[in-house]
Amino acid sequence: MAQQVSFSQGAAWLAEVDSVISGTSDNGSRMVGILQESTVDFSWTTKQLWGQNQYPAVIARGEAKVTLKLTWAALDLQLIANTLFGASTATGQFAISQDEQQVVGASSPYTFAVANASSFVYDLGVRYASSGVSLQRVMTPSAAGQYSVNYSTGVYTFSVGDANIPMLVSYHYTNNTTGKLLTVANQLQGATPYFRCALFNSISPNPPPISASAVPWALCFNAVTANKVSMPRKVNEFTILEIEAEAFADGSGTVCYISTLQ
C-alpha cells in the first residue's frame, strides 16, 4: 500500500459534555454541517540552558497548548447552543418583517396595521416605497415624513401629508411556533461549557495505478472549550461560521487520540 496521506477537510462532530470528569452528555453528537476547514495546532513553551557555547546544552518543554479552529456553513443553532454556549434552544424565532409593503389610509386617522400586529414587539423604521427615504418617528405626526407607532396594537399613524402613500415598514415580532431560538444569558465568570470534538478523513488519495481507498485517520479531543466564535456576513458571500477553541486533559488525563491505518 502507498504511504498514507490525507486530502480535503473531512468531517467533524461536536458533542456537549456536561462534565469533563465523567464525559457524560445529554444532547449527543452533531455533525458539523458543510465543514470548510479544521485546523489543530500543538504548541509548547521551551526553556534553554546555555553553557559557554552558542547553542543550548539542554532544551526542556514547559507548558503545552492545543488550539483548534473550525469553519463551516450550516446554520445549526442546536449545535451552536449546546457546544459553544452550554445552553438549550426553545421553539420560536426572533422574527423580523423587512420592508413590508403597506399603504397609509386615504382618510383620517391615516393609519395602517402591520401584518403581524398581534405579535408586534418593536419598530425598525419606515421608508417611502418610491424613494427609500426614511421617515422620522415622533410622538404625534404633524407633517409629511413623520409617523408614530402603537406598540400594543402594531398600528402606525401618519399625518395628512402622507395620506394614501405606499410605505415600506420593518419591525420585530414574536413567532413562538416555528424555528429555534437561543437566548444567551449573562452568566457568572467561570461558567465554562465543554464539548468533545472528533475530526475524521475516510479517503486517502493514491498515485496511479492505485485508486483512492478507504484509509482513515482521525483525531478526537474529549475536553474542549471555545474562546471565540465569529459569524461574518459579507456582500455576495456565504456566511462561514468560525470557532477557535482550546483542548485540555479530561478526567483521565487524556488530551486526545490520534489514529491512522498505517
Architecture of domain 11-48+57-89+186-260: Roll (2.30)
Query: Residue 213 above 70 pLDDT?
Result: no
β partners of residue 43: 65
The yes-or-no verdict on residue 144 having pLDDT over 70 is yes
> Residue 82: its pLDDT value, please?
87
> Which grid cell is 144?
409629511
Unique residue bearing C-alpha cell 395602517: 112
Give the ranges where 50-137 is alpha helix by DSSP (H).
77-79
* Domain extent listing, the chain: 11-48+57-89+186-260, 92-179
Higher pLDDT, 62 or 17: 62
What is the reported pLDDT for 168?
A: 98
Span 93-127, pLDDT tens digits: 999 999 999 999 999 999 999 999 999 999 999 99
Strands 166-181 and 35-49: unpaired
DSSP states along 198-239: EEEEEEE---TTSPPEEEEEEEEEEEEEEEEEE----TTS--
Interval 157-193: pLDDT, tens: 999 999 999 999 999 999 999 999 999 989 888 889 9
Copy the grid coordinates of residue 52: 559557554
pTM of the complete model beyond 0.85? no
| Helix, strand, coil fractions of the chain, as percent rounded to 5 | 5, 50, 45
Residue 206 reports pLDDT greater than 80 = no
